Amino acid sequence: MSIPETRAFFDGLNRDYLAVHRRKEELFWAFRMGTSDEGEEDYAAAEKAWKAFVSDPARLAAVRGRLAGIEAALPPGAGEAPGQAAGEAAELLRGLRGWKALFEANIVEGEAGRAAMERIVALEAELFAKRRKLVLTQLVAPGREAEATLGSLATNLAANPDETARRSSLASLRGLEGWVLANGFLDIVRARNELARSQGRSDYFDYKVRKSEAMSSAQLFAVLDDFELGTREANRRGLDELAAAEGRSALEPENLLYAMSGEVLREMDPYFPFAAALERWVLSFRRLGIGFRGASLQLDLLERRGKYQNGFCHGPIPAFLDRGAWVPAAVNFTSEGRPGQVGAGYRALGTLFHEGGHAAHFANVAGNSPCFSQEFPPTSAAYAETQSMFCDSLLEDADWLSRYARSESGEAMPPELIRRRVERAQPYRAFEERRILVVPYFERALYALPEAELEPARVLELARETERRVLGAESPRPLLAIPHLLDQESAASYHGYLLAHMAVAQTRAWFLGKFGYIADNPAVGPLLAEKYWAPGNSLSHDQSLRALTGEGFSARHLAADCARSAAEAWAEAEASMEAARTRAYPEDYPADLDASIRVVDGRELLADNSVSEARMCEDFAAALEKRYPRS
């Protein structure tokens, strides 16, 4: 087959995928934001069309045929990396290998499998349409009840000093668990297992892990079990110390987060005004040298009824090089902030750094096809989350806090408060990581349950059993209230967050070893873009880590972080603050993020950077003041 014919085929794949992907993603955004004029049937149809494209055996066969023809005509090893065997044939070889990986990661064999997939899509769309109408409530003060989102429930549990109010938040979350189990989630579990069995796997958990991380569930749990064992004693010690200091009631799920850090979070709150979150994100990313290569970003940051209650980032247009011409990304990301609630400003900042990290990653992938720059398999969940979690890890750094945490009047967060935050958080470092670890242990057990045991009471019992075994206490974030479990895209993938935390600790250790600091270091963004982001999913998670750090994937850095004493953690933090005070930071940071940014609330535009990023931040703050006037 000739090169021109293969080029026409390859360009057609790119073009056709962009069309079906964009349609699905635009409806996904509108449906999840509660702004769609189209019903769940339209979204389900678009999702079905996209899944049909990426799991089409005929397209996979055609890609394999054209690959075989090019590989036979090129010398061995050609096209393995940009710059090798330069020419159109090598470029096509790289791109077609990307498409082969995508189709192989998403292929669903047989009519039974395709029917199960269609049923899953329909069931999930139906469940989400119901969930969008569900209103949760909580007490925010004695005798004062308010509507609640998942984010405000979590913030209330962590920062409200009133135990009755916290208990109401836990009751809402556990009520949501019962609602989920009564409204079709177990039918989705059955359909997912049916899909997995049709593909020759024992259950959906094993099927999904193989698809998303290219490993078996046994291989995954060899890593997770080792980490569980390595952090078990530190977790037990932290809980014992908490109970000794605060009483056994501190270990009750409505009290746990507040007992660990609630008073410190309340004291920190004045230094994280919600209205300043956007500006601090923009400045921090600019000073890290992070740019978006001309991408269009749309940010929906405020809570409202009918909106999806969890932050996420999706890209309707994946970035890529189309015959050498740059196609910038279009990326949407969201959070569910409630200005005025204690802790909401810090939470909003965390979402901006996390989802903005995802956006920076996908905006900088520089493959020759959109198949390299999208958040679905063969993109590893652990690889994708490493990028976002590296960015949000800065918010825990004492040197970042000393430079950015400011009250509305400009007063810096006192070093004494930073010290108390570090010393308060460190004893529970293992517990925080195990809050992630508990999810894959539960999901693996859920999908392995015999059909006869897939009943609400048994599943709730399994959830509480798993929480007590892994955490040493019942979770303040009940397992079945975690939205990731409900969506096929994120189900059986939560372990990716813990694998990413391991990789983040490894990445941070390398940057600190090479430069001595991370916050406001303009070398960080370009190195991330070159080593982690540009290759997209053409590299495995392990390969990307080796490209930057020279070391394969390792959990040892995170384990060491969990094992440090509070005194050791503060000594490191204090040294970083002192170094920041005396460091000569660059004066020529990038002037902007190289992106077109719109900040919206549903269909309403709140601010944009058409004039400047500074004007955008001012307009955002003014819009918040108008909507949420201070009493």
Chain segment 217-248, per-residue pLDDT in tens: 999 999 999 999 999 999 999 999 999 999 99
Claim to verify: residue 62 and residue 115 sit in the same structural domain: no
Lowest mean per-residue pLDDT among 33-47, 544-558, 571-585: 33-47
Claim to verify: residue 102 and residue 12 sit in the same structural domain: yes
Residue 38 pLDDT: 73
Domain contains 42: yes
Residues in the chain, total: 631
Which domain covers residue 330, as residue numbers? Answer: 275-369+597-631
CA distance 348 to 336: 8
CA distance 553 to 544: 9
Domain contains 142: yes
Domain contains 287: yes
Claim to verify: residue 139 and residue 182 sit in the same structural domain: yes
SS3 522: coil
Residue 306 pLDDT: 85
Contacts of 15 (CB under 8 A, 6+ apart): none
Given a cut of 70, whether residue 286 has pLDDT beyond it is: yes
pLDDT tier, 79 (very low <50, low <70, confident <90, very high otherwise): low
Claim to verify: residue 86 and residue 116 sit in the same structural domain: no
Over residues 122-181, the pLDDT tens digits come to: 999 999 999 989 999 999 989 999 999 998 999 999 999 999 999 999 999 999 999 999
The DSSP-derived string for 425-489 is HGGGHHHHHHHHHHHHHHHHHHHHS-GGG-SHHHHHHHHHHHHHHHHSS--SS-GGG-GGGGSTT
Claim to verify: residue 42 and residue 124 sit in the same structural domain: no
Of 460, 468, 586, nearest to 519 (Cα)? 586
Given a cut of 80, whether residue 417 has pLDDT beyond it is: yes
Lowest mean per-residue pLDDT among 69-78, 79-88, 300-309, 554-563: 79-88
Torsion angle, alpha carbons of 469, 470, 474, 476, to 10: -170
Domain contains 50: yes
Residue 442 pLDDT: 98
Residue 305 pLDDT: 86
Residue 82 pLDDT: 46
The DSSP-derived string for 330-376 is EEEEEEEE-TTSTTHHHHHHHHHHHHHHHHHHHHS---SSGGGSSSS
Q: How high does pLDDT run on average in the chain? A: 94
**What is the mean predicted confidence (pLDDT) over 272-279?**
96
Claim to verify: residue 73 and residue 115 sit in the same structural domain: no
CA distance 315 to 307: 18
**What is the mean predicted confidence (pLDDT) over 468-479?**
98
Over residues 514-537, the pLDDT tens digits come to: 999 999 999 999 999 999 999 999
Domain boundary among 199, 223, 248: 199
Claim to verify: residue 76 and residue 11 sit in the same structural domain: yes
Given a cut of 90, whether residue 71 has pLDDT beyond it is: no
**The domain spanning residue 607 has which CATH number?**
3.40.390
CA angle, corner 579, sides to 575 and 581, nearest 5? 120
Claim to verify: residue 87 and residue 139 sit in the same structural domain: no
Domain contains 623: yes
Lowest mean per-residue pLDDT among 41-50, 356-365, 388-397: 41-50
Given a cut of 80, whether residue 39 has pLDDT beyond it is: no
Given a cut of 80, whether residue 37 has pLDDT beyond it is: no
Domain contains 245: no
CA distance 457 to 359: 40
Residue 1 pLDDT: 67
First to last CA, the chain: 72
Claim to verify: residue 138 and residue 74 sit in the same structural domain: no
- Residue located via tokens 């825990």: 396
**What is the mean predicted confidence (pLDDT) over 586-606?**
96
Say how many domains are in the chain.
Answer: 3
Domain contains 216: no
Tokens linked to 54: 């990426």
Claim to verify: residue 21 and residue 63 sit in the same structural domain: yes
Claim to verify: residue 117 and residue 56 sit in the same structural domain: no
Claim to verify: residue 60 and residue 141 sit in the same structural domain: no
Domain contains 497: no
CA distance 234 to 431: 8
- Residue 62 DSSP class: H
CA distance 190 to 183: 14
Domain boundary among 171, 199, 227: 199
Contacts of 303 (CB under 8 A, 6+ apart): 149, 151, 152, 309, 336, 337, 338
Domain boundary among 199, 222, 237: 199
